[in-house]
Amino acid sequence: MELPFAESYKIKMVEAIRKSTREEREKWLKEAYYNLFNLRSEYVYIDLLTDSGTGAMSDKQWSAMMLGDESYAGASSYLIMKDTIKKLFGFNDFLPTHQGRAAENVLFSVLVKEGDIVPGNTHFDTTKGHIEFRKATAVDCTIEDSFHPTKYHPFKGNFDLEKLENVLKSNPIEKIPVIIVTITCNSSGGQPVSMQNLKDVYSLAQKYGTKVFFDSARFAENAYFIKMREDGYQNKTIKEIVKEMYQYADGMTMSSKKDAIVNMGGFIGFRDRKLYEEASVYNIMFEGFVTYGGMSGRDMNALSQGLMESTEFEYLDTRIRQIAYLGERLKKFGIPLLEPFGGHGIFIDAKRFLPNIPKEEFIAQTLAVEIYLESGVRAVEIGTLLADRDPVTRENRYPAMELVRLAIPRRVYTNSHMDYVAAAIENVFERRDKITKGLKILQEAPIMRHFTVELDRA
Ligand code: F0G
């Protein structure tokens, strides 16, 4: 008999989780104003809100923490991180930050000015937030296929090179300080960008005289998809692929809470020493001295070890297969999903799931609420709430897709948990015709409203 697939780790420490009743959940959700971010985590049975900062660290990461050097300046933990970044990505200089959006804040303080244009492949919301906060414009240049939930494309995170070149050609280049390549592309479903596309984007940037930075939160998952799907990479290691990917970037911002498998942390990698020096000033102002920037020594140690582990094939294979396992189960039941399955979660196509809810009533949020009420599983809306209002007209922006993301934390849940999640969603699917009312907004913040919005039944 051929031996089946099994996880590439065993479990050494556990945390108890608790189920709840439907009545309890009704009450808690009402108190949370139908915003799942407002729920206490103890009210959640399986938490798929995010894969960010929710991973389980390894024994090697925990032991590296004990060796953390907490010196204010020049800590060995900083030097280990510098070495790791150089080895994996090829960048000589880096700045530690407390998380990904802090890296964006520091970098964009140098690069992005009012009136600028920042092309990208569906910028993540904090990235877009930091661009729009500076009265600059984020222009989405993702390929058209990316907006069709069932259309197969192996690299749905790719840039449409024609769209990108048009932006570069039709604007003064000094207004385009940087192109942001998000790997994998979170907002469009954890979809990867191919090596060829990374190469082509970089050569366009060079041709027109601008820079490329990778928003690298899930760079290792991106490398896994290159290995599995792109010709010529099958026999390369993940680390070799990562090294090649970063030849096509002038730098990177990193939310280490994802593919560095730590609970907090981030950094910026730089090819250009001068840019590093300019950014250092902001890092000192916003984050901390250049050799710790918002992180303790032990956290930098865990981060460096995490980067080495997340770029191992066995780890990635376990992770991506678990996501596909959940996806396949839901697909068999006829649940409309975004395909192919992405890197960090399964994305449900809420428009097809709940055709009776008008877009003004927040289709994806309505579905996320129903899944929680059914089962205590917490997912997250990637739809109209997240898309926010247009900064100029203040009108709601209705995105092409209304998605519910089931983000899978790293090394945390077993496939039995995945079975529970699938059954919960299948139950909601069976009663979908009875879900005819969505939600309305009671209160919202002027920017990044989805975190704090207060809602009620429409
Ligand atoms: N870039 C991408 C692609 C992200 O997915 C995130 C965070 C960030 C930047 C910001 O990093 O949270 O460390 O400040 N994404 C989380 C998520 C919040 O749930 O997808 P951060």
The pLDDT assigned to 391 comes to 82
User: pTM of the full predicted structure?
Assistant: 0.96
The pLDDT assigned to 325 comes to 98
Q: What is the pLDDT of residues 319-374, one digit of tens each?
A: 999 999 999 999 999 999 999 999 999 999 999 999 999 999 999 999 999 999 99
Please check whether the domain covering 59-310 is classified as CATH 3.30.60.50: no
Collapsing DSSP states into helix, strand and coil, what is residue 281? helix
- Average pLDDT (149-173) is 97
Q: Which two tokens stand for residue 77?
A: 């933990």
Q: Could you give the CA distance from residue 283 to residue 170 in angstroms, rounded to a whole number?
A: 33
Q: Could you give the CA distance from residue 39 to residue 339 in angstroms, rounded to a whole number?
A: 30
- The CA 255 to ligand 1 mean position distance, Å, reads 6
Q: Could you give the CA distance from residue 197 to residue 406 in angstroms, rounded to a whole number?
A: 27
CATH fold match for the domains 22-51+313-457 and 59-310? no
447 has pLDDT over 90: no
Residue type, 179: I
- Average pLDDT (247-268) is 98
Give the bridge partners for 95, in sequence order: 268
* Test site for ligand 1: of 37, 181, 255, 450, most ligand atoms within 8 A of the Cβ: 255
Query: Are 84 and 415 spatial neighbours (Cβ–Cβ below 8 Å)?
Result: no
Domain boundaries, the chain: 22-51+313-457, 59-310
Q: Could you give the CA distance from residue 173 to residue 179 in angstroms, rounded to a whole number?
A: 11
Cα angle 386, 202, 150 (rounded to 5 degrees) comes to 45
* Test site for ligand 1: of 126, 299, 381, most ligand atoms within 8 A of the Cβ: 126
Per the omega criterion (within 30 degrees of 0), is the bond before 409 cis? no
- CATH superfamily of the 22-51+313-457 domain: Aspartate Aminotransferase, domain 1 (3.90.1150.10)
Q: How many residues does the chain have?
A: 458
- The CA 33 to ligand 1 mean position distance, Å, reads 24
Q: What is the pLDDT of residues 10-54, one digit of tens each?
A: 999 999 999 999 999 999 999 999 999 999 999 999 999 999 999
The pLDDT assigned to 187 comes to 81
Query: Are 154 and 343 spatial neighbours (Cβ–Cβ below 8 Å)?
Result: no
| Ligand 1 atom closest to the CA of 51, numbered from 1 | 19
- Per-residue confidence at 188, pLDDT binned at 50, 70, 90? confident
- The CA 225 to ligand 1 mean position distance, Å, reads 20
- The CA 52 to ligand 1 mean position distance, Å, reads 7
The pLDDT assigned to 356 comes to 94
Query: Are 164 and 201 spatial neighbours (Cβ–Cβ below 8 Å)?
Result: yes
- Average pLDDT (117-131) is 94
Ligand 1 contacts (CB < 6 A) are 50, 52, 99-101, 124, 126-127, 182, 186, 215, 217, 255, 257, 266
The residues assigned a catalytic role are 72, 124-125, 215, 217, 258, 450
The pLDDT assigned to 303 comes to 98
What secondary structure does DSSP assign to 372-440, as a single string?
HHHHSEE-EEESHHHH-B-TTT-PBP--S--EEEEEPPTT---HHHHHHHHHHHHHHHHTGGG----EE
Q: What is the pLDDT of residues 275-317, one digit of tens each?
A: 999 999 999 999 999 999 999 999 999 999 999 999 999 999 9
